Amino acid sequence: MPFVIPSEGGCQCGEIRYRLIGEPIFLTVCHCTDCKHQSGSAFGMSLRMRKADVELLQGAPKQWTTRSDNGNPKICVFCSSCGTRLWHGPGPLGNLSVKPGTLDDPSQLAPRYEGWTKRKLPWLRIEGLEASFEEQGSSHRPASAS
Ligand SMILES: [Zn+2]
Ligand SMILES: [Zn+2]
């Protein structure tokens, strides 16, 4: 995935700013119910990053914990002023799932995988994605990644 390092992003109101200083692990599209509720839209996107590669530049995000569709606790980090979700995690592997729509320039990224396709909205078509990973028995994580 070609990616300009570092890349910066932030919340909708500008209070929280962050910088990605390492190569993303992968980018996924997720069709689970939780991602639809969180994004308020047709699907969610997760840019998997090593925690050490995500630097908080400005602001003090808040967090709360929910459970993902596979039952694991999920830490949700957001701006308390505008409510923008910034990232989830760290998860069991110590990685963060950055919400890539918060990047200043998300156009350089393209998703490679999609998950929870059984919950995909019937009108939605996204070209070029590889087989979903939850059908390989590993939700939110493709079999080829650690
Ligand atoms: Zn904000
Ligand atoms: Zn999801």
Look up the CATH number of the domain holding residue 42. Answer: 2.170.150.70
Q: How many angstroms separate the alpha carbon of residue 104 from the centre of ligand 1? A: 14
Q: What is the pTM of this model?
A: 0.85
- Of 75 and 1, the structure prediction assigns the larger pLDDT to 75
Span from the CA of 125 to the centroid of ligand 1 (angstroms): 31
For residues 41 and 74, is the Cβ–Cβ distance under 8 A? no
Task: Identify whether 146 is part of a domain.
Answer: no
Q: How does pLDDT run across 48-95, given as a tens digit for each residue? A: 999 999 999 999 999 999 987 678 889 999 999 999 999 999 988 899
Number of structural domains in the chain = 1
Ligand 2 centre to CA of 108 (Å) is 22
Q: Are residues 145 and 139 in contact, defined by beta-carbon separation less than 8 angstroms?
A: no
The whole-number pLDDT of residue 144 equals 42
Q: Which amino acid is at 141?
A: R
CA 56–ligand 1 middle distance (angstroms): 13
Count of CB atoms situated within 10 Å of the CB of 146: 6
Asked, for residue 144, whether it belongs to a domain, the answer is no
Residue 12: inside a domain: yes
87 occurs within a structural domain: yes
Between the CA of 117 and the centroid of ligand 2 the distance, in Å, is 10
The answer as to whether 137 is a domain residue is: no
Does residue 110 lie within any of the structural domains? yes
∠ CA 141-40-128, rounded to 5°: 45
Cα dihedral across residues 79, 23, 112, 108: positive or negative? positive
Decide if 2 is inside a domain: no
- The region that residue 101 occupies, defined by phi over 0 for left and psi between -120 and 50 for alpha, beta otherwise, is alpha
Where in the sequence is the domain holding 20, given as residue range(s)?
7-126
Q: Is it the case that residue 2 has pLDDT exceeding 90?
A: no
Can you list the positions of beta strands (E) in 31-94?
Answer: 44-50, 54-58, 62-67, 73-78, 85-88
For residues 133 and 139, the answer to whether their CB atoms sit within 8 Å is yes
The radius of gyration of the chain from alpha carbons, rounded to an integer in Å, stands at 14
Cα-to-centroid distance, 6 and ligand 1 (Å) = 21
Alpha-carbon span 29 to 140, nearest angstrom: 9
